Amino acid sequence: MAELLHSKGKFGTAPVFLTAISTILGAVMFLRFGFAVGAVGFIGTITIVIIGHMVTIPTAMSLAEIATNQKVEGGGEYYIISRSFGLTIGASIGLALYLSQAISVAFYVIAFSEAFEPVLRTLQDSTGIDIAYSKRLLGLISVGLLAALMYTKGAKTGMWMLYVVVGILAVSLIMFFAGTGLTNSDFLLDGSGDINEDFFVVFAIVFPAFTGMTAGVGLSGDLKDPKKSIPRGTLFATVIGMLIYVLIAVKLAGSASRDALLNDQLVMSNIAIWGPIIPIGLAAATISSALGSVMVAPRTLSAIAADKIIPIPRFNRVFGKLKANNDEPVNASMLTCGIAFFFVLLGDINAVAEVISMFFMVTYGAICLISLLENFASNPGYRPSFKSKWYISLIGAVLCVILMFKINTVYAVLSIGLMGFTYYILTRSQNHKSDMSNIFSGVIFQISRNLHVFLQKSKQEENMDEWRPSVVAISKDSFSRHDEFDLLRWISHRKGFGMYIHHIDGYLSKETSDQAKECLKRLIRLTQVSKSSVFVDTIINPTYKSSISQTLQLPGVSGKENNMVLFEFYKTREDSMEEILDNIGLVKAVGYDTCILCSSEKKFGFTNEIHIWITSNDYQNANLMIYMAYIILGHPDWNDGIIKLFAIHPEGEIGTERIKLKEMIKTGRLPISANNIRIIPIQEDVTTKQIINQNSKDADLTIVGFRSDLLKKTGVDFFRGYDNVGNVLFVNSQNEKEIS
């Protein structure tokens, strides 16, 4: 595991600051910042600095916040992302981050070679050796020396060199600011070259200069106190770097013409009081940046390998290995130098540099997103000693995405696609299904809580356009019969809400509590297998009546109160019928609608036909019965299903009743064909049950209304006599629902 990397830190805050500031004030500052001022003017350049730091400052603050909440081990940014979003997502971004860090070594080495252009040009004049060849050879030699340094001495010597090169960097900047300039330029004031259509092209060239602020985080495993050193070093380097870039823009705009800025890469040397200090500073800055990258990149790869997330054991074993005497990731360092060697050999990595920026943007966006989500989730375990603001993190995350596509849409898509493909490969080989669940669960809880509170505060009388069933079912037979659960999952698929409670007989104790936990696991598996949206839970009580009483007082899963209870009994179990009858009064007392499912051996058949039976004494229930059929039919299990509507009325009312039903179906926009509406006349010698048995024997679900006053008189006899039909749903509405 990555936690085992570098168990004993050696460094304090200074190396974090020096690594970051030497990377910020590097190749772009010396070679391309003057070009930016010439291309988009002083105002445009300041705008680039501001926009760039609207990404880097939120990232630095987010990084400081996260680092002061958790122990940041080896791997720096990778460690933070992987421990927040999970190993597969962390490795997907981490591999991209590693490649960008490794290729950055080549980028800085090529820039280092540019510092020797005056010497190499003199060599070309005297020997005829092509200057491009000389630069490439110098770059290859430099990479070889870096590799040798990392192999023999490791990061400790690298840190010692950082102090030297940062000192040279400081002297070169002092001499630059002390220079008098090439001309009395009014370029600073006239605004020429301000923002134009090439603004984001120039931004793409300059932005890598600001990405060095997280360079020191990669040393996290080598720090004595990462929680203190990372925030201080990173934030200090970010702010100091921004101020220096603003001052450089002012100096360049006031000291050189536009032509000089656009055409002379080393224009700063013509402004400084001693020109050679600028190439020397460039060499110092670029070699220190290369040194920083060659120290950080291997630690990122080593941390990924130590987590064993890559599905290649040999890869994890080789690149997770540390040198015995100094804990240096030697193999990862050699691979890093090999990648750098390859890109230096290619010579021109301008196109690749944009991809590097993309990967950095993704990394920064992920860091800002972690801070945003943690702030929003309000997890009690998230207690950083340094606090950013959620809106600052939001700005950073959103800007990262926008700027990626503004800089280069194709590269943005390719970068995201590459990481998406890597994530797909890793998830196929690993079983990390909980990725992101920890951080996002807190966010979901907060959203759920706020919505519940909002819905409660805004509670008002529901009209039919807003009404939907919020059903609670209480069952003792959850694992022996699934008809009740199936009906509830159909109701709660899209238009309704369902809560399924499993009753456990007994008093609350450790034994019954353990039993309840095991039952809950089984119920959750049931919801997963059936892909349902039902909320499941258990309740322990000595009596079924007590469970019903308590459940009726529970808040609804939707945020609003429950409004319907679903009971179920098996046709041949009269004891279950009696138990339901004993509790109908409780349901009526709280004003809930009641549905009672009479299940049979036929179950729900082919889930094709739903028959609704309406009588002249049943109008209070009729609309609810129709709505329930319509909602059930919306589930994919009933894709090819139809609703047939039957009404039993006196002979003289049949015509009027037919017109009324057709109009209700039409205005209510209900999926019931006029051909499927049938009015049956009342016959003196034929009971309603006989008519239903005759006409609904092939129905997959039959819906029948009932009145509570009639149920009191008839008792369990009301449920008897439906021998020829399958499952029957008895529906009682406390108040008439309107179909508009």
Q: What is the pTM of this model?
A: 0.64
Residues 653-681: what's their mean pLDDT? 72
CB 138 within 8 A of CB 345: no
Residues 510-535: what's their mean pLDDT? 91
Model pLDDT for residues 274-323, shown as the tens digit of each residue: 888 888 888 887 777 777 777 778 888 888 888 888 888 888 888 878 77
Integer Cα distance of 528 and 522 in angstroms: 10
CA angle centred on 551, ends 549 and 554, rounded to 5° = 120
Q: Are strands 470-475 and 564-570 parallel, antiparallel or unpaired?
A: parallel
pLDDT confidence of residue 6: 41
Q: How many CB atoms lie within 10 A of CB 631?
A: 18
Model pLDDT for residues 684-733, shown as the tens digit of each residue: 788 888 999 999 999 999 999 998 888 888 888 888 889 889 999 999 98
Superfamily of domain 2-429: Amino acid/polyamine transporter I (1.20.1740.10)
Integer Cα distance of 260 and 547 in angstroms: 85
Residue type, 156: K
Integer Cα distance of 493 and 531 in angstroms: 9
Residues 2-20: what's their mean pLDDT? 61
CA dihedral 12, 13, 16, 20 (to 10 degrees): -150
pLDDT confidence of residue 663: 72
Integer Cα distance of 422 and 676 in angstroms: 54
Q: What is the mean pLDDT of the chain?
A: 79
Determine which of 219-233, 359-373, 471-485, 486-500 has the lowest per-residue pLDDT on average.
Answer: 219-233
Same fold, 2-429 and 600-740: no
Q: Which of 61-65, 83-87, 651-655, 687-691 has the highest mean pLDDT?
A: 687-691
pLDDT confidence of residue 288: 72
Residue 186 pLDDT greater than 70, yes or no: no
Model pLDDT for residues 124-161, shown as the tens digit of each residue: 666 666 656 666 677 677 777 766 766 566 555 555 66
Exposure b/e, 482-518, CB count within 10 A at least 16 = b? bbbbbbbbbbbbeebbbbbbbbbeeeeeeebeeebee
Of the CATH numbers 3.40.640.10, 3.40.50.620, 3.50.30.10, 2.130.10.10, which one belongs to the domain with range 600-740?
A: 3.40.50.620
Q: How many CB atoms lie within 10 A of CB 74?
A: 28
CB-based burial of residue 675 (10 Å sphere; 0-12 exposed, 13-18 middle, 19+ buried)? exposed
Cα(first)–Cα(last) distance of the chain, in Å? 62
CB 617 within 8 A of CB 650: no
pLDDT confidence of residue 565: 94
Residue 436 pLDDT greater than 60, yes or no: no
Residues 555-583: what's their mean pLDDT? 83
Q: 3-state DSSP: the chain helix, strand, coil percent, rounded to 5?
A: 65, 10, 25
Model pLDDT for residues 333-344, shown as the tens digit of each residue: 888 888 888 877
Share of the chain above pLDDT 90, in %: 15
Determine which of 189-193, 379-383, 431-435 has the lowest per-residue pLDDT on average.
Answer: 189-193
CB 298 within 8 A of CB 333: yes
Q: Are strands 728-732 and 593-599 parallel, antiparallel or unpaired?
A: antiparallel
Integer Cα distance of 306 and 295 in angstroms: 17
Query: 3-class SS at 39?
Result: helix
Model pLDDT for residues 94-116, shown as the tens digit of each residue: 888 888 788 878 777 777 777 67
Determine which of 96-100, 270-274, 418-422, 651-655 has the lowest per-residue pLDDT on average.
Answer: 651-655
The domain ranges of the chain are 2-429, 464-563, 600-740
pLDDT confidence of residue 457: 62
Model pLDDT for residues 112-128, shown as the tens digit of each residue: 777 676 666 666 666 66
Integer Cα distance of 24 and 183 in angstroms: 28
Residues 75-82: what's their mean pLDDT? 75
Instruction: Determine which helix (DSSP H) or strand (DSSP E) holds 610, and give its type and residue range.
Output: strand 609-615
Residue 252 pLDDT greater than 70, yes or no: yes
Confidence bin at 4 (pLDDT 50/70/90): very low
Q: How many CB atoms lie within 10 A of CB 118?
A: 13
pLDDT confidence of residue 195: 44
Side-chain-side CA neighbours of 211 within 13 Å: the count stands at 28
